[in-house]
Amino acid sequence: MLEPLKEVEEQQSYSISEMNPTSSPFLSEILENISDGIFSLDSYGRFIYLNSAAEHLLERSRSDLLGASFWTCFPDAAGTPLYDYYLAALTTQTPQTFEWWFSPLGKWFDVRTYPGKNLFTIYLRNITMQKNNEAALRESEEMFRMITENSTDMISRIAMNGTYLYVSAASRTLLGYEPDALVGSSVFDMLHPDDLQFTDGHKEPSLTDLRIDLSAYRIRKKDGTYIWFETTARPILDKRGLNKEVITVSRDITARKHVENQLRETNELLQRISTVDALTGVANRRGFDECLLKEWKQGSRMSTPLSLILVDIDFFKRYNDSYGHIEGDICLQRVAESLRKAAKRPGDFIARYGGEEFVVLLPSTDAAGARTVAEHLRQQVELLQIPHTRSEHSPYITISSGTATMIPSRDMDPSELFLRADKALYQAKQEGRNVVRLYHRDE
Tell me which residues are annotated as active site. 356
Q: Which amino acid is at 185?
A: S
Distance separating alpha carbons of residues 229 and 83, to the nearest angstrom: 28
Strands (E), 285-344: 306-313
For the four alpha carbons of 80, 95, 267 and 30, in that order, the dihedral sign comes to negative
Rg, C-alpha atoms of the chain: 30
Q: Nearest Cα to 373, choosing from 403, 334, 409, 400?
A: 403
Give the three-state DSSP class for 383.
Answer: helix
Q: Nearest Cα to 200, choosing from 191, 210, 190?
A: 210
Q: Nearest Cα to 310, choosing from 265, 362, 387?
A: 362
The CA-based angle 299-303-305, given to 5 degrees, is 65
| Cβ contact 306:365 at 8 Å | yes
Give the three-state DSSP class for 348.
Answer: coil
